[in-house]
Homo-oligomer: A and B are copies of this chain.
Amino acid sequence: MSTSIALLGTGLMGLPMARRLLGAGFNLSVWNRDSSKAAPLADEGARVAGDANDAVRGATRIITMLTDGAVVENILFETGVVESLAAGATVIDMSSIRPSQARNHAARLAELGVHHLDAPVSGGTKGAQAGTLAIMAGGDQLVFDAALDLFNAMGRPVRVGPSGAGQLAKLANQAIVGIAIGAVAEATLLVSEGGGDLEAFRTALTGGFADSTILQLHGARMQSGDFEPRGRVAVQIKDLDNVLIEARELGIRLPLVEAVRDRFARLADELGGGDLDHSALFVELLDLNGRSQAPRI
């Protein structure tokens, strides 16, 4: 019998990831708190379990794709899942949680003889469907190598370092994204106030040092005022808060992250933009400058 994989959490990301694993021929059991989200996978070859304990029974590799660190902690340690795991099993946590939480989980599992990898992803639901997720992993090299067959079915894995390093890389990723949105907002305001054509501006910068997906994609959203959420402001704030918590634990200050975090928080708290796309930081900049032509918010 082939080794079995359990996937806990079949939400927006977990569902297409499960489909990639089934497509690659893995023997998969799944569980989701809201069971209706896991049900469709039964027809596609997965065993849909009634609870997390049942899902992990007989599995040698357990993938978690859950909301945050508290939920991961609850499911793993407070519902009896770890007791159901055989020594030598591996927990692969692909949720985005704080690095210190990931290190804590790894240490507690190690005491039970269970391996742990933190392996958060970037690339959204599109990347999950296409199997092109950026997978940022932390943990032992041998454990990482043994998970490559599974990672390769879902995306492009890179081991960034020891336990927690995957979560750390994800936070650094989110820090760059948040600040880059702030930079593109200021460039967009400058060019637009100075009478330049924003589309031509972005075309002119294509391929140069200032170019990025954020310039082209989020810059266009700022111009059109289309703030339909792909990356929500509230999530961006949570991510930046986690960056700052981690920085504090490491004893370092990150001034641009701090500044941008406060601006996103002002957008959410004072301007009611928490549910908008994070490119709506442009609206906060317009407001800061007393420009009333704020796009629809």
Contact = CB atoms under 8 A, between A and B. Distances in A.
Interface of A: 99, 122-123, 134-136, 138, 158-162, 164-165, 168-169, 171-177, 179-180, 182-184, 186-191, 193-197, 200-201, 203-215, 243, 246-247, 250-257, 259-260, 263, 288-289, 291
List the number of copies, as a whole number: 2
B169 A191 contact: yes
Nearest to A218: B209
Contacts of A180: 179-180, 183, 210, 212
| Main DSSP-derived SS at the A contact region | helix
30 contacts: A99-B194, A160-B191, A160-B196, A164-B194, A165-B194, A165-B197, A168-B191, A169-B201, A172-B188, A172-B196, A172-B201, A173-B205, A175-B187, A176-B183, A176-B184, A176-B187, A177-B210, A179-B180, A179-B256, A186-B254, A186-B255, A190-B243, A190-B250, A209-B214, A211-B213, A252-B289, A252-B291, A253-B288, A253-B289, A255-B288
Contacts of A160: 191, 196-197, 200-201, 204
A257 B186 contact: yes
A161 B246 CA distance: 44
A198 B164 CA distance: 14
B250 A193 contact: yes
Contacts of A159: 197, 200
A210 B173 CA distance: 6
Of listed A159, A177, A190, A214, residue having the most chain B CB within 10 A: A190
Contacts of A204: 134-136, 158, 160, 169
Contacts of A99: 194
